[in-house]
Amino acid sequence: MARELKGEKLEKELLRLEEMKAYEKENAQYELICGIDEAGRGPLAGPVVATAVIMPKNCYIEGVTDSKKLSEKKREKLYNEIIESALAYSVQFVFQDVIDEINIRQATHAAMQNAVNGLKIHPDILIVDGNDNIDFNNIETLYIKKGDSLSQSIAAASILAKVTRDRYIVELSKDYPEYGLEKHKGYATKAHMEAIRKYGVQPIHRKTFMTDKVLGINKTN
C-alpha cells in the first residue's frame, strides 16, 4: 500500500482497510475473489457501466472506498493504482437504447454479467454490490447491500466503473455542449433538465427516464 498518511491517520486508515477486507477474509478459502459494482444507474443520459475486478488477497490501497464519497481527483488517482494492482478486471457498457428496451435493472444485470464474462481469469467467488439475484452461470456469489462502503473488492470495482463512465460522458459532452454533461455526468440536475426542455431530448438520453417532471410538463390543470 502506498503510504501517504503517517502516525495516527495512518493507523486509522489501516484499521479501516482491515474492516473493508472483512468479507474477503470470511471467504479466504477462495483464491480469486471478484468485486462487482456499477455506475450510472440513475442518470437521464448515457450508459450504465459495470466493472468486475479481482484484486490480490494481500492488496491494500490507501483511500479505497465507495466512489461516490471521493473527489474526482482522488478517484482518478485510485483508478490508476487499482489498474496497476489488479490481477484482472473487465469494464462493460450497456447503452441507453438497450436501457430503454429492457429497463435499467435488467440493463445493470447485463452489464455485470458481461463484466464477469470479460475477465481473463475465472473467479472463484463474486462479491456484488446490492441485493438483486443475478445469474452468473453458477459462480458462487455473495450480495452485500451498500457493499461499496463495506468491501474493498466492491469499492475498487465502483471506482473503475465511475471513472470509466465519467471519462466517457466528458467525451460525449463535446458533441452536445448545450447540455453541460461534463458537469453533471448525465444526472437529473436542474441545469440538465432545463437544457432538455430548451434543446430537446437527444439520442444520448434515456427515453424511458423522460418523465413529466424532467420535461417540465404540468398536468395539474
Where are the extended beta strands (E) located within the chain? 33-39, 48-54, 88-94, 125-129, 140-144
Domain count, the chain: 1
Q: What percent of the chain has pLDDT over 90?
A: 87
* Chain centre to alpha carbon of residue 39: 3
Residue 1 is assigned to a structural domain of this protein = no
pLDDT at 4 (0 to 100): 60
Q: Which of 151, 177, 182 is nearest to 65 (CA)?
A: 151
pLDDT tens profile 7-22 = 678 888 888 889 999 9
**Is 18 domain-assigned?**
yes
| 221 occurs within a structural domain | no
**Residue 176 domain-assigned?**
yes
As a whole number of angstroms, the distance between CA 147 and CA 38 comes to: 11
Q: Is residue 109 part of a domain?
A: yes
- Positive or negative, the CA dihedral 193, 198, 199, 203 is positive
2 within a domain of the structure (yes/no): no
- On whether residue 117 sits in a domain, the answer given is yes
Confidence band, pLDDT 50/70/90 cuts, at residue 220: low
Write the CATH number for 150: 3.30.420.10
Task: Work out the number of other CB atoms within 10 angstroms of the CB of residue 66.
Answer: 18
pLDDT digits (tens, 9 = 90+) for 106-137: 999 999 999 999 999 999 999 999 999 999 99
Q: What is the mean pLDDT of residues 130-146?
A: 95
Domain membership of residue 110 as a residue range: 7-215
In a domain, 54, yes or no: yes
Q: Is this prediction's pTM over 0.75?
A: yes
Nearby residues of 99 by Cβ (< 8 Å), 6 or more positions away:
47, 48, 107, 206, 208
Taking only the tens place, the pLDDT of each residue in 185-207 is: 999 999 999 999 999 999 999 99
Residues linked to residue 52 through DSSP beta bridges, in sequence order? 36, 90
Q: What is the pLDDT, as a whole number, of residue 197?
A: 97
162 phi/psi in degrees, rounded to 5: -65, -45
